[in-house]
Chain A
Amino acid sequence: MGRNLHKGLREILEQKKGPVVERWREQIHKSYPPETAQFLKREKNRFSNPIGSSIEESIWPLYDQLIGEADPAVTKKLLDNLVRIRAVQDFTPASAVQIIFALKPILRKEVLPLAQKKGLLKEYLEFESEIDRFGLLAFDVFMECRERVWEIKRNDLLKRPYLLAGGMCPSYMMKRGIKHLEKLKKEITQH
């Protein structure tokens, strides 16, 4: 999309980058309980605040992707950074990816009036559709993450065959299998 973005609209979006992304960050923080939101905002060390830092490291370049020449690989990586964590937290799928759509009301407040002044309403609406596209991409990422979780669960189970057998180890199961076969053979020959 970025390629076709109207020059005048892009200028407004670039000029408003600071306030828009800051409000966006605030909205994402607010999707957590208030005590957590305060912490995410306060703690700046990336290792002491993995959720907050992954938000911070993703939203600024993601905004650039949105208004500039979006590179699909980069966009996906940034969305992954944002959504991967939410995919294993207490969010419904809708509220996990809603953070992308949360940009819309912010932009309507910060950018739309300026765009309207310059007669760029049509261009603005086209640009908004790009946010929808990012939101849908975020849902793809969310589903990939959820499927990965299930794969990991499956792999974990397959690595533990003794569990499926009620706490017995494979060699014991083999022996038991052989005994069972022998018993079956015996029964067949007897009949």
Chain B
Amino acid sequence: MAKELTPQEMLRIDLTPPNRDWMDIPTVIKPGIYCYPAKPEKVEAVGMPNPHVWSPLDDDWGLPEDWKETFLQGMRERLDKHRSFKIFMDICVRCGACADKCHFFLGSGDPKNMPVVRAELIRSVYRGEFTKAGQILGRLAGGRKLTEDVLKEIWYYMFQCTECRRCSLFCPYGIDTAEVTIIGRELINLFGLNINWIQEPVANCYETGNHLGLLPHTFKQNVEFMCMDIEEFVGIKVDPPFNKKGAEILFVTPSGDVFAEPGIYTLMGYLLLFEHIGLDYTWSTYASEGGNFGFFTSLDMAQRLNAKIYAEAKRLGVKWILGGECGHMWRVVHQYMNTFNGPPEFLEEPVNPLTGTKFENAKSAKMVHISEFTADLIKHGKLKLNPKRNDHLKVTYHDSCNPSRGMGMFEEPRYVIKNVCNNFYEMPENTIREQTFCCGSGAGLNAGENMELRLRGGLPRANAVKYVHERFGVNMLSCVCAIDRAVLPASMEYWVPDVNVCGVSELVGNALVMEGEHERTTDLRGEEIPGFAKAEGEEVKEDV
């Protein structure tokens, strides 16, 4: 609710902000920047502490009486448990190399969004409460005491970091600020102060297996809706297997692909690809979510929600797991799954059944990325493709933070795109690959109520898209992440209105020449493909 200004306030137009140390500038929590608080029943559903109704705009956040001791005890435990956290608290020399690398700083201009300062919000409490120098010298040693205002500030800014890790790339000491955010959020969750956009998916995922809370029959039904669309637009019947015991491969993708536009077209791409090569695979209505909002809550919650993937692979008796286009799912798979819930000795080292390629990179976690799999199929000439169907598109590729920085996948999606599209343009070097800019809404910040924050955070990425749009006429921004697909359309709507968003597998699906297909006059969205639309009484001839 907008506050009514007093006449005095109306007359005071503050044009130059104060020149003071960050510790002296009070944080004002503003609508449009924060996400709504977690509903108590969703906190309770997963047995997390202090479920209660509260509002970030209230003075009283409903903290338990002993909140301070709980916070400090929580911090102490994590300093002992995570050596990385302890080191990151100790070694930062505040050189500022990371300061201007964060998309939220670049889009907002708020100095507390410099990664160094955001981490300093917690680091100052560490110094003030845990180190001798800080306890004695206080501010002089960069320390401060934990107060309610400090907690509120930490809360506000921990949800203005998407854990994209671009800053960590530039830190000479290798400090990963995302890990500070991860711990910061864990501490916040000791008091039931999560945001609902994260908490509700977590509770849903725990109860039904996916973020949206789709029950098994609904999940199946939604995929079958996509099959009906495929029948209409491609002219073939696809009958995907569900919970099929003894299948060779288990396919897991974020549930956003099953439900949200434009993710559903990416899902149609997967279905066509698997049909095209006659893959022996299965969907699971239990492991019906690749994404893991538990990762944005606490590492324990991430582990709990991740467990179903291996459990289901074991139950169905598959040989290995194939994963769809998702962002943080791949960070969890690549960096945590094997130690969270593995090693999965019941699975085999993934081998492409059509090409014989061993995916040695997936030797331990036993999970292969769909872009790696598709690139391998194309490399071995296993796919019949007509890239001309994508000729009306001028495509660029947004490296999603987690698959690129989190697992080092740069070439495979590009190889796939270049084989299914004739017009591909890279964005400038300092905005792609390991230096990629976040979409601005990752790590559970893809809600609607924090749109101003999302648009600020999306500016650096959109700025690079705008450049290739103006220079080369790029009209399609492709990516391999469900959150990207969900949030980049809004960012484009604001910053570069003529650019659309799609998954890489959607482009593959459009280019795949399927056996028994009818003339493809429309793409998987049901939109006419320029140059392929049938004039009345005319046969369409495809020049493959």
A contact set with B: CB distance below 8 Å: 30-36, 39-40, 43, 45-51, 53-54, 84-85, 88-90, 92, 94-95, 98, 102, 145, 148-149, 152-153, 155-157, 159-160, 162, 167-169, 171-172
Contact = CB atoms under 8 A, between A and B. Distances in A.
Contact of B452 (A48, A98, A149): A149
Contacts of B327: none
Task: Classify the secondary structure of B's interface with A.
Answer: helix
Interface residues of B, number: 48
A158 to B, nearest CB: 10
Nearest to A162: B212
Contacts of B99: 35, 39
Nearest to A86: B109
B472 to A, nearest CB: 15
Contacts of B460: 47, 50
A155 B490 contact: yes
B15 A95 contact: yes
B84 interface: no
B210 to A, nearest CB: 10
Contacts of B147: none
Contact of B451 (A48, A95, A156, A167): A156
A16 B476 CA distance: 43
A102 B13 CA distance: 12
A36 B15 contact: no
Contacts of A85: 107, 459
Given A167-B204, A169-B214, A169-B218, A33 B493 contact: no
Nearest to B103: A50
B259 A159 contact: no
Contacts of A35: 99, 111, 114
A169 B259 contact: yes
Contacts of A148: 493-494
Contacts of B259: 162, 169
A32 B25 CA distance: 14
A145 B490 CA distance: 13
Given A85-B459, A153-B448, A169-B218, A47 B494 contact: no
B497 to A, nearest CB: 9
B459 A95 contact: no
B451 A153 contact: yes
A89 B108 contact: yes
A160 B456 contact: no
Given A98-B15, A149-B494, A51 B109 contact: yes
Contacts of B200: 167
B110 interface: yes
A18 B494 CA distance: 32
B424 to A, nearest CB: 19
Given A49-B106, A152-B451, 8 more contacts: A43-B100, A47-B463, A89-B107, A89-B109, A98-B15, A149-B494, A152-B494, A162-B213
Contact of A48 (B17, B100, B214): B100
Contact of B463 (A46, A94, A159, A168): A46
Given A39-B100, A51-B106, A155-B490, A171 B218 contact: yes
B30 A48 contact: no
A30 B16 contact: yes
B486 to A, nearest CB: 9
Contacts of B109: 32-33, 36, 40, 51, 89-90
B135 interface: no
B319 to A, nearest CB: 32
A81 to B, nearest CB: 10
A87 to B, nearest CB: 9
A156 B449 CA distance: 9
With a 10 A CB-CB cut-off, give which of A88, A153, A160 has the most chain B CB atoms: A88
Nearest to B261: A159
Q: Report which residue of B99, B109, B221, B490 has the largest number of chain A beta carbons within 10 angstroms of its beta carbon.
A: B109
18 contacts: A35-B99, A35-B114, A36-B109, A39-B100, A40-B109, A46-B467, A48-B106, A48-B430, A90-B110, A92-B13, A98-B15, A148-B493, A156-B448, A157-B448, A162-B213, A167-B204, A169-B212, A171-B218
A153 B200 CA distance: 20
A150 to B, nearest CB: 9
Contacts of B77: none
A47 B213 CA distance: 39
A85 B494 CA distance: 10
A159 B260 contact: yes
A69 to B, nearest CB: 24
A152 B440 CA distance: 15
Contacts of B15: 30-31, 95, 98, 102
